[in-house]
A and B are shown apart, each in its own frame.
Chain A
Amino acid sequence: MKDLSALELDALAEIFNISVGRSASVLSELTGESVTMSVPMVHILSPERVIDLFGMAHQRLTCISQYFTGSFSGEAMLMFPEQSSLEVVRLMLGSQVPLEQLSEIEQDALSEIGNIILNACFAAIADMLQDDFSCQLPELTVAEVYEILHRGQNGHSVLFIQIQLGLEQRDLEGYLAFLMGSESELMLQKALSVFLTGVQG
């Protein structure tokens, strides 16, 4: 993806901000816990740069991903460092499970949490593109970051978004990433500039 202008990045941040805001309120309602999400930071980076910048080399991440196809295709994912993913799901479920790995029930719950956040993003992107695309069910994997980010086409950059999840006075960092083909990148950029012209005009 060619570099986006500051204005375009801001517009994307705004779109994702609305999405994560909506998902935060859904999650609060669902869990009965207060869930907040900070204004997301949007980056477009190569997988190597992501790993470098976020100090994630050899870090294991829990990743909830959904494939999407249509005029805009690729894989969208929500990721947490493995340890934080345990905290996220246990704080949300209000449970104190002594196990060091995600249990089956927790994996399902985490898939749902990811599904809620990713769906909100899809809905916002579809609104901006004024087009629907079809999505698949979420899949949960635990793997090293390198492995996860290289599932897309080689040499492509990643639309990478940092989010802070606030849960019971804890701040947990998570990431959203979109791995796309070059056509989808172009689509997104075109849609962004149309969107921005609309806003400015």
Chain B
Amino acid sequence: MLLFEQALNKLQSGVMILDSELNVIFVNHWLVESFTQVSVVQGSVLTELLPELSSQRIYTCIRQALDRGLPAVLSPALNRTPLPLYSKGKTDAEPFAQMIRIQPIKHDNKSYCMLEVQDVSTMMHRERLLNQQAKKLNQMALTDELTGVANRRCFNSLLEHAIAEATRQSSALSLLFFDIDCFKLYNDHLGHQAGDYCLSKITRVLSEHIKLTQGIDRAASLARYGGEEFCIILPNIAPDDAVAFAESFRHVIETIGLPHPASPVSSVVTASFGISGFKAGKSDTFTSIVLKADNALYRAKASGRNQVVLANKE
């Protein structure tokens, strides 16, 4: 046996050389072992052993290498298991994930091609874990811990996305800001635990209400802006029409009936709302509609709380 041949047989990945009739000129030990269900040896014809290959991409790639001298890569994401290769000692029903490179070789004026095969199942597994972790971290980075709704960071990207969408489709968009009335008094009076409960109860009920209300886009979202201030993005709804929705949200919060003994407004927890909107083509920007909604909210509070105020039109 030639030294090269011995070395290739020690290799922990697969090597196979085919001639233009698809005769196996050489196949290394690793690959022979991995073909657990067929015996691929020197001198066999690949397509006779594995007739199913002839309708598959790997066959096209082999022919392209032999006939045109073009190399090919078969990546595991796009071709999970081009060859029926199984891990040694594992009687799994699934072949292992493979990375295959096919390269043309000219020798003595004849065309050959070399297949180089790697078992990449470990890499596939590792990346799946990494993706799961990244998804989990992403979720954590975008969710408000107390209430489970979108946090401010998430709100920023949601609003940016909604503005881009409204601009592209020239559709309407409303932004609601709301604030629990006299929340500091509530906390001072009943303690922070009660305050936490109040916030999570309100967001839970309101999320459900938004989901079930007819006429509200499924992309509508509730987010905690900070402290006791929240916002709701309503795509495809003009500010004038958003007033009625905001009124219903205000009503829902009031109807929960959480007692607020220190409130000068009502005997229960209430909220004040400010509404602004985005019109494509106008000078509205992310900052300007947030500012306008916040101003409207301020006016709602200044004129007695527990009410909805629409931002001034310019």
Contacts and interface: CB of A to CB of B under 8 A. Distances in A.
Interface string A112-150: 110100010011001000001111111000000000000
A112 B74 contact: yes
A30 to B, nearest CB: 5
A92 B131 CA distance: 17
B274 interface: no
A70 to B, nearest CB: 9
Interface string A98-116: 1100011110110111010
Nearest to B136: A98
Given A30-B57, A98-B138, A105-B123, A134 B106 contact: yes
B124 A105 contact: yes
B interface, how many residues as a size bin?
20 to 34
B130 A93 contact: no
B103 A137 contact: yes
Main SS of the interface on chain A? helix
A108 B77 contact: yes
Nearest to A140: B73
Contacts of B106: 134
B123 A104 contact: yes
B195 interface: no
Nearest to B111: A132
B71 A136 contact: yes
A105 B57 contact: no
Contact of B75 (A98, A108, A122): A108
A183 B138 CA distance: 53
Given A105-B77, A134-B106, A97 B131 contact: yes
Tell me which of A108, A111, A112 has the highest count of chain B C-beta atoms within 10 A of its own C-beta.
Answer: A112
B269 interface: no
6 contacts: A66-B71, A98-B138, A103-B127, A109-B75, A119-B64, A122-B68
The 7 closest A-B CB pairs, nearest first, are A108-B75, A109-B77, A112-B75, A98-B134, A109-B75, A112-B73, A98-B138
Interface of A: 26, 30-31, 66, 92-93, 97-99, 103-106, 108-109, 111-113, 115, 119, 122-123, 126, 132-138
Given A99-B130, A134-B106, A137-B103, 4 more contacts: A26-B57, A98-B138, A109-B78, A115-B71
